[in-house]
């Protein structure tokens, strides 16, 4: 019952946010659903307490009997010892069903209410009168600079007498600004606009993508004056300073674009690889390795756990959890990073306390925590969606694939990489085709060739960056190995991207087909699970 209750809460909460993302029903409707949930919760309990009947030495409570004022039990066959069709188990099932429905309705209303609250906190009205005008604002840079090929993106929090609001600034690479800088900005305030992706030819909902982070305005190449540095959060400033020093050592030791790729792999550095190379990564289906993915976070989590493995259990748990949280903050705390970090923390907690780590439950808990913080990512953050779909593929598709690849060697974890790659590629394929319209034909072999080298690349790259704090000469051996691995990975990507059949473009892939596709997946998994349980039961009977 407890598992079903938790599932009802989670599914209801997510469903409420999902519906509210597309349809605005007003806060009154959310409160109505929550009140209805309370009524449905109380109703079966109150009805079942209305009357009792004794059948076959058991007390049975039913709503049907509660509605009857007089009932002659002696005239029924049950008085002679026959079993009643209305059993205590039936009553319990009725109560539990009512409770689950009630909790689901309450959670749906709660999810819709959380989205409404997030919408009200999205400050737009304060800057709306200044739209399409040349204005001057003072405020802080609230995130790391995002360095692109042609410009740098700065998230700027404008502070006026009436309100505060985020503005996305498109500025030149020089002069450089950092998190926490207090600046004065003068430029034309505009609303973001959707655009058509050059590769897929599809419209990108850029407005909704920025709105999920509370950004509703932008400025192109404004005039900026630095008022004072280091006005942000002290902890974040220290973490970002360490990260930038680490990246600086890597850039000194390893040339571009290898250093940019390594920075993305190890610390989620926001450095551009160049448009042509990024297109190659998309073509061959390995764009997820350019930034810190769940795979990278898992490797880092295991490394952190190993570092503290010799300490006492409580101290090890505390230090590992703190290190993971600080690392997540340092790399920007994106959707993929947060999801992977929460799940890694649950893994560490489960191992330290001796409890079984239920990965599905951990995934759902991680999702709910993230949606509580920002409900808009459910529909408008593609990285959040892909991250969860990939993890679901690992959980539910991997067991189906593993028996089929027993012929693959287990050396260097090759079989594990094959299973994980195939599972995730199969599961995210429909969603990727819907979102991008690009089907990478060479994705599977490229992922197998590249992912096998990622752990070693991250290890030697991390050692090179850390040794750079001590002495550059000491870091050189690690840098040479990291460079060789990065060169191999880039060569694989570029070679496969040049193949004429590397990818295919699909002009239209409807949402209904995506839903149908995942429905087929669900049916196939259900059939497989039934066969597994039937086979297990037969073995138990025979034994």
Same domain, 378 and 418: no
Closest CA to 529 of 396, 395, 424: 396
According to the model, what pLDDT value does residue 55 have? 41
Same domain, 228 and 263: no
Same domain, 376 and 315: yes
Last residue of a domain, one of 392, 418, 451: 392
Structural domain includes residue 351: yes
Q: Residue 488 contacts by C-beta under 8 Å, 6 or more apart in sequence?
A: 453
Same domain, 190 and 337: no
Alpha-carbon distance of 394 to 383, in angstroms, equals 16
According to the model, what pLDDT value does residue 295 have? 66
According to the model, what pLDDT value does residue 153 have? 93
Cβ(133)–Cβ(187) below 8 Å? no
Alpha-carbon distance of 515 to 431, in angstroms, equals 9
Beta bridge partners of 169: 154, 219
**Cβ count within 10 A of residue 58:** 11
Same domain, 342 and 271: no
Distance linking the first and last C-alpha atoms of the chain = 30
Alpha-carbon distance of 289 to 259, in angstroms, equals 14
Report the CATH number that the domain containing residue 137 is assigned in CATH: 2.40.50.140
| Secondary structure E strands in 58-173 | 58-60, 134-141, 146-147, 152-159, 164-171
Last residue of a domain, one of 358, 373, 392: 392
Structural domain includes residue 227: yes
Structural domain includes residue 309: yes
Same domain, 210 and 74: no
According to the model, what pLDDT value does residue 111 have? 94
Tokens of residue 480, six digits = 């040479």
Structural domain includes residue 536: no
Same domain, 7 and 97: yes
Boundaries of domain holding 441? 238-285+397-509
Tell me which residue has tokens 């649950």.
Answer: 346
Same domain, 115 and 19: yes
Backbone angles phi, psi at 4, to 5 degrees: -65, -35
Same domain, 132 and 113: no
Structural domain includes residue 488: yes
Structural domain includes residue 497: yes
Each of the 543 residues of the chain gets a pLDDT tens digit; together they read 567 888 889 989 999 999 999 888 888 899 999 999 888 888 766 655 554 444 444 444 444 433 444 444 444 444 444 444 445 555 566 677 778 888 999 999 999 999 998 887 665 557 888 889 999 999 999 988 988 878 999 999 998 777 788 999 999 999 999 999 999 999 999 999 988 877 666 778 888 888 888 899 999 999 999 999 989 889 888 888 888 899 999 999 999 889 989 988 888 776 667 778 888 888 888 877 776 666 667 777 777 777 787 888 778 778 888 888 888 888 777 666 787 787 777 766 666 666 655 677 777 888 888 899 889 989 888 888 887 888 888 888 888 888 888 888 777 677 887 888 888 888 888 988 888 888 888 988 898 888 888 888 988 998 999 999 998 899 999 999 999 999 999 999 999 999 988 888 887 888 889 989 999 998 988 888 888 777 766 666 666
Determine how β-strand 203-204 pairs with β-strand 152-159. Answer: unpaired
Structural domain includes residue 502: yes
Last residue of a domain, one of 104, 120, 136: 120
Structural domain includes residue 430: yes
Determine how β-strand 215-220 pairs with β-strand 164-171. Answer: parallel
Same domain, 224 and 270: no
Tokens of residue 124, six digits = 């737009």
Closest CA to 388 of 410, 402, 370: 370
Alpha-carbon distance of 93 to 104, in angstroms, equals 16
Cβ(95)–Cβ(48) below 8 Å? yes
Number of structural domains in the chain: 4
Beta bridge partners of 505: 438
Alpha-carbon distance of 50 to 64, in angstroms, equals 10
Same domain, 278 and 297: no
Q: Residue 3 contacts by C-beta under 8 Å, 6 or more apart in sequence?
A: none
3 state SS of 293:
coil
Same domain, 403 and 503: yes
Beta bridge partners of 217: 167
- If 0-12 CB within 10 Å is exposed, 13-18 middle and 19+ buried, where does residue 385 land? middle
Three-state secondary structure of 467-488: HCCCCHHHHHHHHHHHHHHHHH
């Amino acid at each position: 019952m407890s598992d079903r209750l938790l599932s009802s809460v989670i599914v209801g909460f997510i469903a409420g946010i999902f519906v509210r993302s597309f349809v605005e029903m007003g806060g009154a409707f959310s409160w109505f659903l929550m009140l209805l949930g309370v009524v449905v919760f109380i109703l079966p309990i109150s009805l079942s307490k209305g009357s009792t009947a004794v059948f076959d030495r058991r007390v049975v409570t039913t709503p049907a009997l509660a509605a009857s004022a007089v009932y002659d039990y002696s005239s029924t066959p049950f008085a002679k010892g026959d079993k009643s069709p209305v059993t205590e188990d039936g009553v319990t099932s009725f109560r539990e069903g009512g409770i689950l429905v009630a909790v689901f309705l309450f959670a749906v209303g709660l999810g819709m209410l959380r989205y409404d609250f997030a919408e009200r906190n999205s400050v737009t009205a304060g800057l709306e009168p200044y739209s399409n005008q040349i204005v001057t604002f003072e405020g802080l840079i609230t995130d790391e600079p995002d360095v692109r090929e042609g410009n740098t993106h700065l998230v700027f929090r404008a502070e006026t007498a009436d309100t505060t609001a985020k503005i996305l600034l498109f500025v030149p690479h020089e002069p450089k600004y950092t998190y926490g800088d207090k600046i004065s900005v003068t430029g034309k305030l505009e609303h973001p606009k959707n655009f058509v992706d050059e590769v897929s030819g599809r419209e990108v909902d850029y407005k909704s993508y920025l709105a999920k982070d509370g950004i509703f305005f932008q400025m192109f190449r404004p005039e900026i004056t630095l008022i004072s540095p280091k006005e942000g959060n002290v902890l974040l400033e220290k973490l970002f300073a360490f990260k930038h020093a680490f990246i600086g050592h890597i850039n000194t030791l390893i040339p571009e674009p290898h250093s940019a790729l390594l920075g993305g792999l190890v610390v989620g550095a926001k450095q551009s690889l160049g448009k042509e190379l990024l297109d190659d990564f998309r073509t061959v289906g390995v764009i997820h390795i350019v930034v810190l993915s769940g795979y990278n976070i898992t490797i880092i989590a295991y490394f952190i756990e190993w570092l503290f493995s010799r300490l006492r259990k409580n101290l090890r748990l505390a230090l590992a959890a703190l290190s993971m949280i600080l690392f997540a903050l340092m790399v920007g705390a994106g959707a993929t990073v947060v999801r992977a970090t929460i799940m890694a923390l649950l893994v560490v907690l489960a191992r330290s306390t001796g409890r079984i780590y239920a990965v599905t439950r951990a995934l759902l808990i991680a999702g709910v925590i993230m949606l509580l913080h920002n409900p808009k990512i459910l529909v408008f953050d593609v990285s959040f969606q892909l991250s969860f779909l990939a993890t679901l593929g690992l959980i539910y598709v991997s067991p189906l694939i593993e028996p089929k690849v027993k012929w693959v060697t287990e050396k260097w974890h090759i079989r594990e990489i094959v299973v994980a790659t195939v599972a995730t590629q199969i599961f995210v394929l429909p969603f990727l085709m819907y979102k991008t319209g690009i089907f990478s034909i060479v994705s599977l072999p490229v992922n197998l060739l590249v992912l096998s080298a990622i752990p070693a690349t991250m290890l030697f790259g991390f050692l090179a960056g850390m040794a750079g704090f001590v002495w550059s000469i000491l870091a050189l051996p690690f840098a040479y190995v990291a460079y060789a691995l990065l060169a191999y990975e880039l060569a694989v990507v570029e070679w496969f991207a040049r193949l004429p059949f590397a990818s295919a473009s699909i002009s239209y892939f409807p949402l209904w087909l995506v839903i149908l596709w995942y429905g087929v997946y669900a049916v196939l998994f259900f059939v497989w699970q039934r066969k597994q349980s039937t086979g297990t039961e037969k073995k138990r009977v025979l034994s």
